[in-house]
């Protein structure tokens, strides 16, 4: 019998080669195997438990649904710097409706969560829910992102791609929904329990929700944007958790992500002064372990470097004289 691919456990140098030639391994395939191994590079670091599944073909959106400028090419044409973060009453009226619709789609998506459902099935349900409201799934082909929401399970921090993986009893999963409706985006997310989860995960999810609430509570006209991250980071660290540094909240409107960034940790240089009429997201990602992240080779999925769990909640908010008004409530 001839064998053409090397086994998982390779022979010692003086043992017979795996190929069946009868020669010593070091005289036969050892050289070729090490060249192949070098070409493959190191195994990706996979400290956690979630593994990539199969991504289904792209879902289509009916031609009558208005699309953002990147829907065909994947590249936004409008500059992130072009749009003011303070909205006119006319833009704000459209944003109120888009944001409420986002909250409703999130609620609908979450109502289907149960052990055994795949994240791709959640994508199909969600995709239909956007369309039913006359909206386009903002993430679809955004910089090439292939799906209609992000599903981030356990140690996945954000931008998890819906795939063939079935949710398991004890998982936590963040569903991140963004709708493009009436020419503007509304963006929100929440983390849910699948079946019965362990007490540490419950604590993580509770503290992360509190972090979002405290961040929203820190929004005050005349204060710097850095107040938001200060409030969030204080609560996370007090609870022995860490704040993800690589991803921030953002200005939003006719543009999915404007140039305005809202760090969820204290950043002295985030000195933009909060003004009435501003609209932006607050979306803290909080980890049970440390804040370092890694990216999967799909180019999207961000996971914790230590494999411990991460949770996230997000709302789009409007700055008012009284503080912040949440726009993404259903
Ligand atoms: N909704 C995410 C956010 O909160 C962005 C997802 S962009 C994607 O900003 F391309 F990853 F889907
Ligand atoms: Co989002
Ligand atoms: Co967002």
Q: What is the DSSP string of 38-52?
A: HHH-SPPP--SS---
pLDDT of amino acid 159 = 98
Residue 62 lies in a domain: no
pLDDT digits 0-9 by tens, 70-104:
999 999 999 999 999 999 999 999 999 999 999 99
For residue 282, how far is its CA from the centre of ligand 2 (angstroms)? 9
Burial of 84 (0-12, 13-18, 19+ CB in 10 A): middle
* 223: DSSP letter: S
Nearest 10 degrees: Cα torsion 98, 101, 106, 110: -170
Query: 142 CB less than 6 Å from ligand 1?
Result: yes
Structural domain total, the chain: 2
CATH of the domain at 136: 3.90.230.10
Q: Are 167 and 78 in contact (CB under 8 A)?
A: no
Over pLDDT 70: what percentage of the chain?
A: 96
Residue 81 lies in a domain: no
Closest residue (by CA) to atom 2 of ligand 1? 176
Determine the Cα–Cα distance for residues 63 and 60; give it in Å rounded to an integer.
9
24 with 116, same domain? no
145 with 3, same domain? no
Residue 5: pLDDT over 90: no
175 with 237, same domain? yes
Residue 64 lies in a domain: no
145 with 197, same domain? yes
pLDDT of amino acid 44 = 55
Name the domain boundary from 30, 47, 64: 47
137 with 265, same domain? yes
Residue 41: pLDDT over 70: no
Q: Mark the residues whose beta carbon lies below 5 A from ion ligand 3.
A: 187, 281, 283
35 with 132, same domain? no
State the Rg of the chain over Cα.
23
Residue 60 lies in a domain: no
Query: 187 CB less than 6 Å from ligand 1?
Result: yes
42 with 152, same domain? no
Query: 178 CB less than 6 Å from ligand 1?
Result: yes
Residue 24's domain spans which residues?
Answer: 1-47
26 with 123, same domain? no
* 90: DSSP letter: H
Confidence of residue 4 (pLDDT cuts 50, 70, 90): confident
Nearest CA among 207, 206, 208, 232 for reference residue 219: 232
Residue 82 lies in a domain: no
pLDDT digits 0-9 by tens, 146-187:
999 999 999 999 999 999 999 999 999 999 999 999 999 999
Question: Which residues lie below 8 Å from residue 24, measured CB to CB, with a gap of 6+?
Answer: 13, 14, 15, 16, 17
314 CA: nearest ligand 1 atom: 4
Confidence of residue 33 (pLDDT cuts 50, 70, 90): confident
Give the number of other Cβ atoms within 10 Å of residue 164's Cβ.
Answer: 13
Give the ranges where the chain is alpha helix by DSSP (H): 30-40, 89-110, 119-132, 199-217, 226-238
Give the strand order in the sheet containing 293-295: 156-158, 302-304, 293-295
Determine the Cα–Cα distance for residues 187 and 11; give it in Å rounded to an integer.
54
Nearest 10 degrees: Cα torsion 272, 315, 309, 234: 40
Mean pLDDT of 291-320: 98
- Beta pairing class for 249-250 and 261-262: antiparallel
Determine the Cα–Cα distance for residues 116 and 112; give it in Å rounded to an integer.
11
For residue 159, how far is its CA from the centre of ligand 1 (angstroms)? 6
The separation between CA 125 and the C-alpha centre of its own chain, rounded to angstroms, equals 18
**Contacts for 1-7: CB closer than 8 Å, 24+ residues apart:** 6/33, 6/36
31 with 127, same domain? no
151 with 23, same domain? no
Residue 71 lies in a domain: no
Segment among 26-35, 206-215, 224-233, 262-271 with least mean pLDDT: 26-35
21 with 153, same domain? no
Q: Are 230 and 266 in contact (CB under 8 A)?
A: yes
Confidence of residue 123 (pLDDT cuts 50, 70, 90): very high
Residue 55 lies in a domain: no
Residue 69 lies in a domain: no
Q: What is the pTM of this model?
A: 0.87
pLDDT of amino acid 309 = 98
96 with 201, same domain? yes
For residue 314, how far is its CA from the centre of ligand 2 (angstroms)? 6
């Amino acid at each position: 019998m001839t064998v053409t691919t090397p086994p998982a456990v390779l022979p010692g140098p003086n043992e017979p080669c795996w190929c069946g030639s009868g020669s010593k391994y070091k005289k036969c395939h050892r050289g070729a195997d090490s060249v192949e191994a070098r070409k493959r590079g190191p195994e990706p670091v996979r400290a956690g438990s979630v593994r990539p599944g199969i991504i289904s073909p792209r879902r289509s959106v009916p031609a009558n649904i208005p699309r953002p400028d990147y829907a065909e090419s994947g590249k936004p044409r409008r500059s992130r710097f072009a749009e003011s973060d303070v909205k006119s009453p006319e833009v704000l009226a459209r944003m109120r409706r888009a944001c409420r619709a986002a909250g409703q789609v999130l609620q609908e998506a979450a109502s289907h969560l149960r052990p055994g459902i795949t994240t791709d099935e959640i994508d199909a349900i969600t995709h239909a829910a956007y369309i039913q409201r006359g909206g386009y799934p903002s993430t679809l082909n955004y910089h090439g992102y292939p799906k209609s929401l992000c599903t981030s399970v356990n140690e996945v921090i954000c931008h998890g791609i819906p795939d063939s993986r079935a949710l398991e009893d004890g998982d936590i999963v963040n569903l991140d929904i963004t709708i493009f409706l009436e020419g503007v985006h509304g963006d929100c997310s929440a983390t849910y329990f699948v079946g019965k989860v362990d007490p540490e995960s419950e604590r993580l999810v509770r503290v992360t929700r509190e972090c979002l609430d405290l961040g929203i509570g820190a929004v005050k006209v005349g204060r710097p944007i850095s107040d938001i991250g200060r409030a969030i980071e204080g609560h996370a660290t007090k609870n022995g958790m860490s704040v993800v540094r690589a991803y921030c909240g953002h200005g939003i409107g006719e543009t999915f992500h404007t140039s305005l960034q809202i760090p969820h940790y204290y950043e002295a240089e985030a000195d933009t002064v909060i003004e009435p009429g501003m609209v932006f997201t607050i979306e803290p990602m909080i980890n049970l372990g440390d804040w370092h992240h890694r990216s999967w080779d799909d180019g999207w999925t961000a996971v914790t470097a230590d494999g411990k769990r991460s949770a996230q909640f997000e709302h789009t908010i409007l700055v008012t004289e009284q503080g912040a008004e949440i726009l993404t409530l259903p």
